[in-house]
Amino acid sequence: MTNDDRTLALNTGALIPRVGLGVWQAPRGAATRSAVATALSLGYRHVDTARIYGNEADVGAAIRESGLRRDEVFVTTKLWNDDQGYDRALRAFDQSLERMGLDYVDLYLLHWPVAGRRLESWRALEKLFAEKRARAIGVSNFLVPHLRELLDHAKVLPAADQVEVTPFLQQRETRALCAERGIVVEAYSPLTRGRKLGHPTVVGVAARVGRSPAQVLLRWGLQRGMVVLPKSTHAGRIAENAALWDFTLDDGALAELDALEEGLVTGWDPRDQD
Ligand SMILES: NC(=O)c1ccc[n+]([C@@H]2O[C@H](COP(=O)([O-])OP(=O)(O)OC[C@H]3O[C@@H](n4cnc5c(N)ncnc54)[C@H](OP(=O)(O)O)[C@@H]3O)[C@@H](O)[C@H]2O)c1
């Protein structure tokens, strides 16, 4: 892999585009449809939704209306916590596909490592994978203990782990285990949900490379080997967040960003999940 590879190979052989549009908190209806349509028209080929975001139908509609072939867009959705368990998971998957108006997803994730149910849920995902209705299956918010347990029990290894990763929360142990086991790491909330865009180091690097703080955080994620999933519903920012391929961060800039680790969790914290 080089810094400029626009896709990563999953352990299924499929390619995942390294910049995906996130749609958490994109309001259902016109706002989500228009964000996805804008992103696709700007060249994004990857959209990350979830049942709990409430906008799967809008994501599906925008993809269907885009004029792109289904196999040109990588679509991820996720199994919500109250749908975990074998039978419930299978039902929830059917409902997600129905809402999206699609007959498969490219990646289906366990949204959270729900204690006592995650292994059973994983068996359901393995069935969906065997049926090719989920072309790849993976997890989200799984840290090392959750991953080790799953790796001990799974027949199909997860293709991806979607976790919060930024220079301020680097998840080094989780990323190391994923690298060792060929699991792609997807960085969620890669812009720190806006909280660190004004950090002096980020702003300083941005000034040096002539890019925005958001682009610096995303480029760090790419150069550290991840998929990044920035969310915006504004066309200008959607464009900015994908304009990442014509500049690089040099070793000095990467080292400055690597030094920002402070355990900053902006959302959910899976460290407390048994
Ligand atoms: N698996 C999980 O548990 C999980 C958890 C959280 C997130 N995610 C995924 O990751 C995606 C992204 O994470 P996120 O939504 O939490 O946060 P994020 O992408 O880090 O930040 C989004 C925030 O930054 C703003 N923004 C976007 N681009 C910007 C730019 N270029 N300059 C300045 N501000 C900008 C957005 O505002 P506007 O929209 O107003 O532009 C929004 O307020 C989610 O949408 C979801 O798909 C997954």
Q: Tens digits of per-residue pLDDT, 156-169?
A: 999 999 999 999 99
Residue with the smallest CA separation from ligand 1 atom 34 is 194
- Say yes or no: CB of residue 231 within 6 Å of ligand 1: yes
Cα–Cα distances (Å) from 87 to 8, 90, 123, in that order, read 32, 5, 10
CA 191 to ligand 1 centroid distance, Å: 6
Q: What is the pLDDT of residues 128-187, one digit of tens each?
A: 999 999 999 999 999 999 999 999 999 999 999 999 999 999 999 999 999 999 999 999
The answer to whether residue 31 scores a pLDDT higher than 80 is: yes
Note if 53 is an active site residue: yes
Q: Are strands 15-17 and 7-9 parallel, antiparallel or unpaired?
A: antiparallel
CA 126 to ligand 1 centroid distance, Å: 29
pTM of the model: 0.98
Catalytic residue among 53, 86, 104, 108: 53
3: pLDDT confidence band, cut at 50, 70 and 90?
low
- Say yes or no: CB of residue 22 within 6 Å of ligand 1: yes
Q: What pLDDT shows up at residue 60?
A: 98
- Say yes or no: CB of residue 192 within 6 Å of ligand 1: yes
CA 26 to ligand 1 centroid distance, Å: 9
CA 130 to ligand 1 centroid distance, Å: 32
| Mean pLDDT of all residues in 107-126 | 98
39: pLDDT confidence band, cut at 50, 70 and 90?
very high
Q: What pLDDT shows up at residue 1?
A: 61
Per-residue HEC secondary structure of the chain comes to CCCCCCEEECCCCCEEECECEECCCCCCCHHHHHHHHHHHHCCCCEEECCHHHCCHHHHHHHHHHCCCCHHHCEEEEEECHHHCCHHHHHHHHHHHHHHHCCCCECEEEECCCCCCCHHHHHHHHHHHHHCCCECCEEEECCCHHHHHHHHHHCCCCCCEEEEECECCECCHHHHHHHHHHCCEEEEECCCHHHCCCCCHHHHHHHHHHCCCHHHHHHHHHHHCCCEECCECCCHHHHHHCCCCCCCCCCHHHHHHHHCCCCCCCCCCCHHHCC
- Say yes or no: CB of residue 141 within 6 Å of ligand 1: yes
What CATH number is given for 7-195+225-234 in this structure?
A: 3.20.20.100
63: pLDDT confidence band, cut at 50, 70 and 90?
very high
**Mean per-residue pLDDT of the chain:** 97
Q: What pLDDT shows up at residue 189?
A: 98
- Say yes or no: CB of residue 265 within 6 Å of ligand 1: no
Measure the CA–CA gap between 266 and 212, rounded to whole angstroms: 21
